[in-house]
Amino acid sequence: MRCKKILIIPDRAELSSYTKLADRLNLGFEYNDFFIPKLLDDTEQLDAVIAEYEQMSGMPGYCTLHGAFLDVTVFSDDSLIARASDYRVEQSLTIAKRLGVKGVVFHTNYIANFKTDSYRDSFVKKNAVYWSEKLLKYPDIQIYMENMFDDTPELLAGLAEELKGYKNFGVCFDYAHAHVFGNPDEIGLWVQTLAPYVKHLHINDNDFGQDLHLSVGDGKIDWKMFKNYYENYFPEATVLIEVNGMEKIRKSLDFLESL
- Given this model, what pLDDT does residue 109 score? 96
Query: What percentage of residues in the chain have a pLDDT greater than 70?
Result: 100
Question: What are 172-195's pLDDT values in tens digits?
Answer: 999 999 999 999 999 999 999 999
Q: Is the pLDDT of residue 57 over 90?
A: yes
Please determine, for residue 4, whether its predicted confidence score (pLDDT) is greater than 90. yes
Instruction: Give the ranges where 100-245 is alpha helix by DSSP (H).
Output: 117-137, 154-163, 175-181, 187-194, 223-233
Give the pLDDT band of residue 136 (cuts 50, 70, 90): very high
Bin 208: left if φ > 0, else alpha if -120 < ψ < 50, else beta: left
**C-beta separation of 74 from 130 below 8 A:** yes
Provide the pLDDT for residue 115: 86
Percent of the chain whose pLDDT exceeds 90: 98
Judged on CB neighbours under 10 Å (0-12, 13-18, 19+), 63 is buried
Cα–Cα distance measured from residue 20 to residue 27, given in angstroms and rounded to the nearest whole number: 10
Residue 77 pLDDT level (bands cut at 50, 70, 90): very high
If phi > 0 it is left, if psi is from -120 to 50 it is alpha, else beta; for residue 170 that is: beta
d(CA 191, CA 9): 24
pLDDT in tens, 148-170: 999 999 999 999 999 999 999 99
Quick one: fold of 6-258? Answer: TIM Barrel (3.20.20)
- In this prediction, residue 87 carries a pLDDT of 98
- Mapping DSSP to helix (H, G, I), strand (E, B) and coil, where does residue 25 land? helix
Domain definitions of the chain by residue range: 6-258
